[in-house]
Amino acid sequence: MTHRTTRTPQSALSTRRRFLQQLAIGGAVVGPGSAFLASCATGGGDDDDDAAAEEPQGEVSEDNPLGVPTDQPVEIYIFDGGFGDGYATDIHQPIFSERWPDIEINHHAAVDIAGELQARFAANEPPDFVNNSGDGQMDTSQLISDGLVHDLTELFDAPSWDDPSVPVRDTLVPGAIEMGTRDGTPYVLNYAFTVFGIWYNKTLMDENGWPVPTTWAEMLDVCADIADHGIAPWVYQGVTAPRYMNWPLLTMATKLAGPEILVAIDNLEEGAWGHEAIRESAHALWDLGQKGYYLEGVEGMEFRDAQGLWARGEAVFCPSGSWIENEEADAIAEDETFELAMMPEPLLSDDAVMPLETIRATAGEPYFVPAQANNPRGGMEYMRAMLSMEGARGFTEMVTSFTSVLGSSEGVEIAAPGLSSAQAALNAAGENVINWFYTSWYPTMENPGIDQATGALLRGAADVDEWVERCEDVAREIREDDSITKQSR
């Protein structure tokens, strides 16, 4: 299966190692849409050793360091969401096939990954490679606990695709492997590198002389002026994903009080969600709704519908990750004058302990190899091809997203204004890059837990005290559930 996707040229990126190290912030595995579904699969235990022993394996050699069997097909599933699947069919698969022409690739694209694959995991008949993303994302933590995800140590220790003298692990930004690691074992490859912030309609802002707000007081002033012009100041991802607003909420709170508040949340500490800085940030977003600054009816919209209206000029501000430029490319293309840009979240107070330029950024978009796959070594070899310089650069060119491969931005031209502004924000942030882990450690804590609480806050069905209470209840359920393996930092 092959189809063609037009590539977008892009402007030059800095590739200094120090800058890339600043990108390596451990944290949540997030992709375009980040809901999680609990896995219905069962397995693991002693069967894992038997499965490993039965893995088909070719002869290990300098040209075949993972021992990929050349007489076995590789079955892959790609999430057909914000990044689409053209990067797989048009870039990664040709790279793989050039080196392994006799290995058949069975490609599948799916919007609902769990809906497509949970029954196959339950039957111990999973594919060889899974891009586990989107609102139909499977619960990776549960899959790992059930012994259904393959250890990727061999992949990261193997020689890299481009230079046999350099192991794969040394080609990745620091922290990328650790984000997919549980109890010391790497299970997930987080391939894309995402910058989070508030994305805005730069065309409207420039035309009307509205300044990019740096404080929350300035944000409210700008919102009042925008509303007076008959435009909605804000949109968020509707009933599907109000959790997108957790990102500016937690980022603004962290700027105000420092990253220790995120550690407390990740470690499930009692009272963490009730910290005064988090309350203040939650109140700011609640107040937007009280003032009528959210797009009318957004609370009942699907996330793509809401974002599409933003891209068509019906709202100015939208929280998201740097995938949004590709995700809304069709809507953006309808208006040749539309230009988007990213801004860091405003400061809630002048006495904030972190600077305005502080942003959230992390490696994300998870890929894994199932432990019960027919050809797990083929799945890992496919990952090794993805992590080639050609594969990483091609991904960036096609979907306007950075990757976790060191130096892969060198020579890539970024014409996309949104990604260019994200690059500028990363440069400005320096070492002030934050992230949190609870969304990947405890998927159901984020969705449906905190997600539903934040949805109620935004639509005015809960005030800040009620929101805090609901968030604390969600954290308590995770904390007291002995069946859930706890992580800490």
For 381-413, write each residue's pLDDT tens digit.
Answer: 999 999 999 999 999 989 888 899 988 877 777
Question: Does one domain contain both 346 and 387?
Answer: no
According to the model, what pLDDT value does residue 312 have?
94
In a domain, 8, yes or no: no
According to the model, what pLDDT value does residue 25 have?
32
In a domain, 136, yes or no: yes
Task: Measure CA 167 to chain center.
Answer: 25
Question: Is residue 458 exposed (0-12), middle (13-18) or buried (19+ Cβ within 10 Å)?
Answer: buried
In a domain, 53, yes or no: yes
Question: Does one domain contain both 315 and 397?
Answer: no
Domain that holds residue 39: 17-194+361-434
Question: Does one domain contain both 98 and 157?
Answer: yes
In a domain, 487, yes or no: no
Question: Does one domain contain both 271 and 402?
Answer: no
For 104-140, write each residue's pLDDT tens digit.
Answer: 999 999 999 999 999 999 999 999 999 999 889 998 8
* N-terminal to C-terminal alpha carbon distance within the chain: 43
Question: Does one domain contain both 252 and 271?
Answer: yes
Question: Does one domain contain both 232 and 116?
Answer: no
Question: Does one domain contain both 162 and 230?
Answer: no
- Compute mean pLDDT per 10 residues along the chain, 489 residues long, and list them: 30 30 33 33 42 76 97 97 94 98 98 96 97 91 93 98 97 84 93 95 97 98 98 97 97 98 97 98 98 98 96 97 90 90 97 97 93 98 98 91 85 82 87 89 91 98 98 98 90
What are the DSSP E strand ranges found in 269-381? 315-321, 340-343, 359-368
Question: Does one domain contain both 97 and 225?
Answer: no
According to the model, what pLDDT value does residue 406 have?
86
According to the model, what pLDDT value does residue 438 have?
93
According to the model, what pLDDT value does residue 21 have?
32
SS3 at position 369: coil
According to the model, what pLDDT value does residue 430 have?
83
| Number of domains the chain is built from | 2
Longest CA pairwise span in the chain (Å): 70
Question: Does one domain contain both 35 and 140?
Answer: yes
According to the model, what pLDDT value does residue 31 have?
37
Question: Does one domain contain both 255 and 315?
Answer: yes
According to the model, what pLDDT value does residue 173 have?
80
Is the separation of the CB atoms in 487 and 437 below 8 Å? yes
In a domain, 77, yes or no: yes
Question: Does one domain contain both 183 and 231?
Answer: no
Closest CA to 94 of 186, 4, 24: 4
The domain that holds 213 is classified in CATH as 3.40.190.10
Task: Measure CA 196 to chain center.
Answer: 9
In a domain, 104, yes or no: yes
Question: Does one domain contain both 268 and 413?
Answer: no
In a domain, 10, yes or no: no
In a domain, 407, yes or no: yes
Helices 276-290 & 464-480 angle (0-180, nearest 10): 130
Return d(Cα 385, Cα 162) in angstroms, integer. Answer: 9
According to the model, what pLDDT value does residue 423 have?
84
* Count of CB atoms situated within 10 Å of the CB of 34: 25
Please list the residues that pair with 131 across neighbouring strands.
Answer: 367
